[in-house]
Every structure is written in C-alpha cells, then in structure tokens.
Structure 1
Amino acid sequence: MDVLRVFNNNVVLAKDGDREVILTGRGIGFQAKPGQHVDDAKIVRRFVPADGRDPDHMAELLAGIPPEIIRLATDAMSRTGLAEQIEAQPTLVMALADHICGAIQRSQRGQTIEYPLEAEVRSLYAGEYAKGEALVDAMNDYLGGVLPKGEAVALALHLVNAGFSTGDLSNTYTMTGVIQQMLSVIENTYDVTLDQHSVNVGRFITHLRYLFVRIHQHQQLNDEPRPIVETIMTSYPQATACARKLAIVVDMRLSATLTEAEIAYLALHISRVTADAAKESSSELETSGTRTHNA
C-alpha cells in the first residue's frame, strides 16, 4: 500500500489496490510522504469507507481521536460480539471512540451526564442496551472503572444509529420519540397497555425501526400485490384505522407519507399486539375474580 495523504503521525490515507483505505497506528504517518510505501508493521487498524463516505473527511475525524482510544473501542467491540462491525461500519467505530474519549474527559473533570432516554432505550432497544452495558464493562476492564454505567445508554443509541448510516444521533432520537408516540396511540385507541417486553411487541418495534430506515433511504414498500394489501385492510378494519393514525404521526414528525403497503403491514402488527394485550388483560381479570371469590 502507498500513502496518499498524511493527516497526522497516527493516521494516513492509503491506496490498497483499487480502493482507498484509512490506516491508523502509532507513528504510521511520521515523516511519511505521498507515494511512499506504508510500513505494514505500524498498521493497527484499517478502515474502508462505505456508503459513499468521503475518505478524507473520515480520516480527519479519526485524526482527532487518540489512537489508544480507537484501539480500546475496537478491542471492546471484539470482546462483545461486534467484531464484524469494525470492518463493515467504520463510522460506528469512530462514533464509539469519539464518545468514549469525551466520557473519559468528563470523568477526569468529575462531570456526569444523566441520560433522559434511559427508560426508553432499555425498553425499545433491549439488545443494543445489553451490548452497551457489555461495552462499558469491557472498557472499564482497561480503564479501571472510569466510565459510569449510564454511558451504556449513549453507546446503545450509537449502535441503533448505525442502522441509519448517519454521522449523528438526531435520527435515532427522533425515532425513539416517534416509536413511543405510536405505541401510545395504539394503547389509547384500544384502551390497553402494551407489554414492551413481549415477543409480538418486540417484533413490532423491530418492524418500526426498519420502517424508519426505509423512510430515511426513500425505499418504502410499494410493490406488494394490491389484493394482499386489500385483504389485510378488509380483515383488520380497526387495526387499519389505527394504522392510518400512525401514518399521520409519521407524516407530522418525519414529513413522510406512508404507502398503502406500509400501512397494511402496520395494521397486521397492531392486530397482533392488541390481541395479546387483550388476552393479558382478560387473564388478569379472571385471576382477580378468582382471588375475590376465594376470599
């Protein structure tokens, strides 16, 4: 590999065959010049820009993060089952490393942050939150317990955000609020309480997350056979009416008009989660009645 551009002593942009790669490592850029061969022994990590990302911009961002923090982030990711994302999603590595760097600095200054979305993250993104906790634990093994447990919330949001291929958390914050609003609309429409830890509600939340990705990428479902869409809407009229309410929320919050196919599949999920909630409510009433009778 040959050097294309030197960003600092620890980050260079290089040519690897037909592609450009970002290389990090202590001293890899020291006295290096464009056209020179890269010292392979100094390479710690290589990042291949994806999704049309500008290699120069990514390299500039990496140059602002100490290499030992990048190593810490990637080692922690490897230990917590995120090794594949290191190569596939370099922007995720950068986001996590940058956040960790800031968290360490705050800890050194005696500052702490209370994340207001902790309850929502624990409920809506249970898998990512568990990964966030594991990342904090893994990094604290290296740092001697410097990071507060609450940082798991922010790390989980970065993991969720990776699905949007964006550089900030604005879409993820918006998505979290909209999902909560949509669940509230369903509960108020059907006068039920949804168990956000149930299997069907979990599937519904996953469906909503992919829906937001499709909206963001302008790739909503729109080629489903019309008879299938009409059959769903005819079979579940109340759920379809509720789904149209959710479509209004999406339009107001995200400025996106849902297709009829998307509305139909929302209706299917609404029918499932509300049926579960109704069964749970009925079971609780029966149990309560039995206790009263026995008393």
Structure 2
Amino acid sequence: MKIKKPLNANAILVVDEDKSEFILFGKGIGFGKKVGDAVDSDNVNQTFIPLKNSDLKEYLTILESIPAELLELSRLVIIEAEERLNCNLNPSIYFMLSDHLNFAIERFKSNINVTNRVFWEIKNFYPQEFNIGLYALKLIKKEFGLVLPEEEAANVAFHIINAQSSAEMKADGMNYAKLIASVNSIIRYSINTDFDNSSVHYQRFITHLKFFAERFFNDKMLDDSNQLFEQIVQLYPRATEISFLIKDHLELVYSKKITKEEIAYLAIHINRLLSSEEISKNS
C-alpha cells in the first residue's frame, strides 16, 4: 500500500495493489510523507476508510478544508463512540463529523447561535450518544480552548445515531427523536402527568419506542395478529385508547399505516409505564 496524496499531518490518501483507494487517518501519519511512500497497514493507531469513486472528490474537498488537529480529534471521538456503543459506525461519519465540528467551531468564533430543536429529545432519549457528544466538547476545550454550548453535544449525538444504522436500515436520528417526542407528548397529555425520566420503567419504554421508530420508518411493522390485539383491547382498555391516539397522529403526519399488532405492543408497554407510575405515586 502506497501514498497517493498526503492530505495533512493526520490524513493521507492511499492506494493498494488492487488500485483500491482509502483515506487513512492517524496522528502524524502524513507528516513529512510524499507520494509513493509505503504505508504500514498494521499500525493499530491508524483508521482505514475505503472510498467509492463517487465519494472521493467530495470527501477530499472536506478533508482539505479541516485542520489536522480536528481530524484527529474527530477520530478519537468516533473510536470512543464505537467502544461505548459496542458497534461499528458507518465510515462516512469520519467526514461528516469532522465537517460538522469544523463548522461548529467557526460558528462559535463568529458568535452565531443555531438552536437545536430536538436537544431535549436527544439528551433524554439517546443518553449514551449525548454523553459521547459531551466527550467531544471536552476534547475541543482541551485542544482548542473553546467552550462550545451543550447543544453541540446533541448535534454530535445526532451524527452518532445516524452512523449506527446499516445501509439497509438507514436511520434518521431527527425523525426518530421527533416521533418519540410526539408519542411521549400524547401519553403525557392523555394522563395529565409527567414521568420520572430517570426511572427504569421509563427508560425501558423509551427503548421500545426506539425499536418501534426503526420498524416504522423502515416499513418493517410487525405482522398483524388479531388474536393478540383482541386480548389487549380487553385487558388494557385505557392503554389501548392511548395507542389509538398515537396511531391516528402518526398516520396523519407520516401517511404510514400501523398494524394492529404494533398497536397491541404499544398498549402493553404503555400499560406497564402507567402501572409503574401509579405504584410510584401510591408508595
């Protein structure tokens, strides 16, 4: 594997014996390097990103506009995210996150504030990803001496959420957060109470909603089960009524049908949540 083009001190464009191209990230790997130099592919402190020809020009343009220190910082954030979440993120995040952080720093220096409209939802529904965002802000403070607003942690989390999805099940973190928030609002208004966001029961419910959102947006709704639906209607009438309010709202907003089995499972989880809240109030 040889260097095709040094990009900066922490990134180089390389090509292997099959003429496949990669972007290689790593602290100092581009320092003093030139075209044709051999690359040690076994170095564990490097990150290889395979490239498609259609992506090459766009990604090179992004990389050439980003300081080497910020590229390395982004790489450390991504490595931390993969360790905490125990998953491999979509390689495109190396470019998207670096580009976003570069722009965020430019905005901060220019006193330009951009409101994140789903800050609360991301902070509460995706706490792991949000904490990774806080980790990124900590590194930025250490490296550049800048204290970015906490909203930027949610923006970083948004990129992490999207990068967790496979090509077949591509997530849209913004849509997920909005759907979960709307479902929460419907339930809160229906029972006229707030939930303890830190409770195990609430977190379990949010986990169910995340899976529901993934199935909903990727057209993977659970198959209709009339038997389960009829049982749940009889067992949990209050929760079923709320589930139908959610169904009507989502079908109106997204023009997507929700199956009876999904309504039944929503009712089951809503009933568990309501029961846990009633127990907490009476204890």
Q: TM-score range by the shorter chain?
A: 0.7 to 0.9
Instruction: Write out aligned runs for 1:96-245 (5 A).
Output: 96-145=97-146, 147-164=148-165, 171-222=172-223, 226-245=226-245
Cross-structure match for 2:249: 249
Q: What letter is aligned with 2:259?
A: T
Distance apart, 1:83 and its partner CA: 7.5
Cross-structure match for 2:57: 60
The answer (yes or no) to whether the contact 1:123–1:196 under 8 Å persists in 2 is: yes
Q: TM-score, normalised by structure 1?
A: 0.74
Identity of aligned residues (%): 22
- State the alpha-carbon separation in 2 of the partners of residues 56 and 85 from structure 1: 30
The answer (yes or no) to whether the contact 1:12–1:24 under 8 Å persists in 2 is: yes
Residues 87-126 of structure 1: per-residue CA shift (max 9 Å, x gap): 5421233222111111222233343434343333322222
Cross-structure match for 2:38: 39
Where does structure 2 lack aligned partners over 5 or more consecutive residues?
A: none
- 4+ residue stretches of structure 1 with deviation over 6 A? 5-9, 27-30, 83-86
Residues 109-148 of structure 1: per-residue CA shift (max 9 Å, x gap): 3434343433333222222212211121133322233544
Secondary structure of the residue that 2:22 maps to in structure 1? strand
Distance apart, 1:152 and its partner CA: 0.8
Cross-structure match for 1:293: none
The answer (yes or no) to whether the contact 1:244–1:263 under 8 Å persists in 2 is: yes
1:220–1:6 Cα change, 3 Å: farther
Secondary structure of the residue that 1:90 maps to in structure 2? coil
Cross-structure match for 2:264: 264
Distance apart, 1:221 and its partner CA: 1.6
Which moves more between the two structures, 156-165 or 262-271?
156-165
1:41–1:109 Cα change, 3 Å: farther
1:149–1:14 Cα change, 3 Å: same
- State the alpha-carbon separation in 1 of the partners of residues 134 and 149 from structure 2: 10
Q: What letter is aligned with 2:139?
A: A
Secondary structure of the residue that 1:40 maps to in structure 2? coil
Residues 196-236 of structure 1: per-residue CA shift (max 9 Å, x gap): 2222221222222222222222222217x653444333322
- State the alpha-carbon separation in 1 of the partners of residues 241 and 108 from structure 2: 50
1:84–1:157 Cα change, 3 Å: closer
Alignment size in residue pairs: 268
> What value does the CA root-mean-square deviation take over the aligned residues?
3.6
1:180–1:82 Cα change, 3 Å: same
The answer (yes or no) to whether the contact 1:163–1:213 under 8 Å persists in 2 is: no
Q: What letter is aligned with 2:112?
A: Q
